[in-house]
Amino acid sequence: MGHIVEVTVERPVDDGEIGVVLDARVGLIHPDLRVGANVAAAAPLKSNAGVCFQGMNLVGKGFRMTADEVRVAGYDVSQLPDVIKPYSNARAMMQGGEAMYVIDFFGLSDAEARAQHPALYQRVLDRVKPERDANNRESRRQKWWLFGETVGRLRRTWRDVPRMIITPETSAHRVFAFVDRPFCPDHKLYAVCSNDALLLGVLSTAMHKLWSISAGGRLGVGNDPTWTNTTCFLRFPFPDWHAVDKLGSDIVSRGAEYPADRVRRLGEQLDAHRKRQQAAHPGLTLTGLYNVLEALRRGEPLSPKERVIHEQGLVSVLRQIHDELDAAVLQAYGWSDLLPLLRVAHGNDVPADGQTREDAKRAFEEAVLERLVALNAERAAAEARGEVLWLRPEFQNPAAQRAPAQAEIDTAHDDDAADDAPAVAAAPALKAAPWPKEPVAQVRAVAEVLAASRTPMTVDDIAACFSSRGPWKKRLPALIDMLVAVGTVEPLDDGARWRARATKS
């Protein structure tokens, strides 16, 4: 606990001195000098596990094809074979560009790929194999016709959904959008494998945006917020829709919607509105839309270019949909008392006497984070009792009538069990450890994290166990390869996840 004192007002006084008004706050002080809820201490939730994954790391530009290259290869982009899929990375999602496709030989051996698709095989042979031959990872050299990380669990999870939700790992604006399958997300995108607009609606709110900025980090020249499964999704407590809809049944009897149905409808509207306007105006980008939306919220005059985007994107309508979503989800949480603060913070209402927009914004943010952290703790305690609010119960918990026992969660070291079960993701320690400075200590630290985990871990899972900033995360694959080489660690899913190798007594 500590005190943070900020100067809020400065005014001249006698003798040429300056008088100040101070705002003092008491609470837990975070590294960014923010006081308030400790989001970093939130626990991973079983309810959210096994639904969200990082996309495919191709490790080879030769897998990518333009629409013209697909046609030259003899294929119709409207009737693609299984091994050619639409593809996008984070930049293309937010800023647009030429339609892209990838050659995906997942599930095929070298010989099968050559026999079934010789022209595509030759393209990969000529454009990918030379690059892979120089790769330090043996699995990537040997399986050069496959993506560097094929993410088998992602493929199994999306198998039964016709579309999924994608969001960039790093972006100035936190945007979630549906994309139809088949589709291949780049590793700079995260995929939430759900067809339900209820999830898209909640994730698109100011509340989740605030949570993700606080829980995630920042990256790049623009210091843009980052979003990952382990930091932003796995720990985020969604509303308890069963309880909310039960409480709202009296409202429904008078002709209104169930709260979940309202959020679901608004989520569909949000996604459809953006897609419709972008289809009508191919130069319209999500970045442009949300730049203008933020300018509207700040009350800034629009430039001529922004006015064009405003008209083409119907950004005032976009703003209204977001406002209605925020209100609906706040109501679902039982936090409608915070809506007046949010409306002032978003420039929809005039501040009360003695209050500024910044005052309202700060009060809203502090209250939301405190409540989300408290709700996370409540959910974690309920899950320890076996009460899990699964996001995709039919997939995550097929038994449906019971939560999985701890023995089922602590899956034994069995390849079939690890590959086929919708296992709960490995949970990083609540308090991340500093990244060691010495190379030997770094190898030991990674080995200890994997040894302590009850389930296989991705690179993101391992990275989330350490708190330090800087480029050290780039070394993780090489350190893991060292542990694989000495037999301490074994890879799964073609190197997408790893686990400590069981020792024989």
The pLDDT of 423-452, averaged and rounded, is 69
Average pLDDT over residues 434-439: 82
* Closest residue by Cα to residue 138 from 501, 497, 495: 495
- Sequence-ordered list of residues with C-beta below 8 angstroms from that of 222, at least 6 positions apart, any chain: 172
Lowest mean pLDDT across 150-154, 351-355, 417-421, 459-463 = 417-421
| 420 pLDDT higher than 90 | no
| Cβ(467)–Cβ(426) below 8 Å | no
Amino acid (1-letter code) at residue 410: D
Q: Is the pTM of this model over 0.85?
A: no
Which pLDDT score, from 0 to 100, does residue 486 have?
A: 73
Residues 291 and 303: their CA atoms lie apart, in Å, by 11
Domain 426-505 falls in which CATH fold?
Arc Repressor Mutant, subunit A (1.10.10)
Taking the C-alpha atoms of residue 190 and residue 188, their distance in angstroms, rounded to an integer, is 7
Q: What is the pLDDT of residues 316-356, one digit of tens each?
A: 999 999 999 999 999 999 999 999 999 999 999 999 888 89
pLDDT band of residue 455 (cuts 50, 70, 90) is confident
Specify the DSSP class assigned to residue 393. H
Q: What pLDDT score does 401 carry?
A: 42
Question: CA 163, CA 181: separation in Å to the nearest integer?
Answer: 5
The one-letter code for the residue type at 288 is G
Q: How confident is the model at residue 419 (pLDDT cuts 50, 70, 90)?
A: very low
Give the residue with greater pLDDT, 252 vs 117: 117
pLDDT category at 456 given cuts 50, 70, 90 is: confident
The pLDDT value recorded for residue 437 is 82
Q: Look at residue 414 in the predicted model and tell me its pLDDT.
A: 33
Token pair, residue 60, equals 């080879």
The pLDDT of residue 430 is 40
pLDDT confidence of 302, banded at 50, 70, 90? very high
What integer best gives the mean pLDDT of the chain?
A: 86
Per-residue b or e along 149-181, where b marks 16 or more CB atoms closer than 10 Å to that residue's CB: bbbbbbbbbbeebebbbbbbbbbbbbbbbbbeb
Instruction: For the chain, give every domain's residue range.
Output: 2-36, 426-505
Question: For the chain, what's the residue count?
Answer: 505
Average pLDDT over residues 41-58: 96
Give backbone dihedrals phi and psi of 454, rounded to 5 degrees, phi first.
Answer: -80, -15
More confident residue, 183 or 14: 183
Predicted pLDDT at 201? 98
DSSP states of 87-101: EE-HHHHHH--S-EE
Report pLDDT digits (tens) over 203-237.
999 999 999 999 988 766 567 899 999 999 999 99
Within 8 A by CB and 6+ apart from 120, the residues are 73, 83, 84, 103, 105, 113
Q: Which of 274-288, 411-425, 485-499 has the highest mean pLDDT?
A: 274-288
